[in-house]
Amino acid sequence: MSFPRDVNSAARSHVPQSIESPKGSCFPAAVEECKGIVMEHIAFARFVTVDKAAAMTGLTPKAIRRKIENGVWLEHHQWERGPDGRIYIDIMGYTKWVKPWQ
């Protein structure tokens, strides 16, 4: 069995079009390059659910809810109540809470 000299071209032949990027395949040597392309298409959400905020911050959902209940995090500063009644964490407010001097 012989192997192709260009690993990227071999990988590219088995890649569905949806994984192809404008600069080439997202396989072997091009992975780092593709990560930058993918990140450009991810939108930043200022307000996220408690569960999403927990995943982003490293706090547990229970810890986030306790900060809200105990008044450590204030409404209209670190969190908002949405029109659906759910609590949404303001990521910018959280960042200012962590680093108030910036």
Q: d(Cα 12, Cα 80) in Å, to the nearest integer?
A: 46
CB 9 within 8 A of CB 30: no
Q: Check: CB of residue 79 under 8 Å from CB of residue 93.
A: yes
pTM: 0.58
Domain boundary assignment for the chain: 7-40, 47-98
Which of the four pLDDT bands, split at 50, 70 and 90, describes residue 33? low
Mean predicted confidence (pLDDT) in 5-25: 46
Task: Write the pLDDT tens digit of every residue in 40-73.
Answer: 445 689 999 999 999 999 999 999 999 999 999 9
Please measure the distance between the N-terminal and C-terminal CA atoms of the chain and give it in whole angstroms. Answer: 60
Specify the pLDDT at position 2. Answer: 52
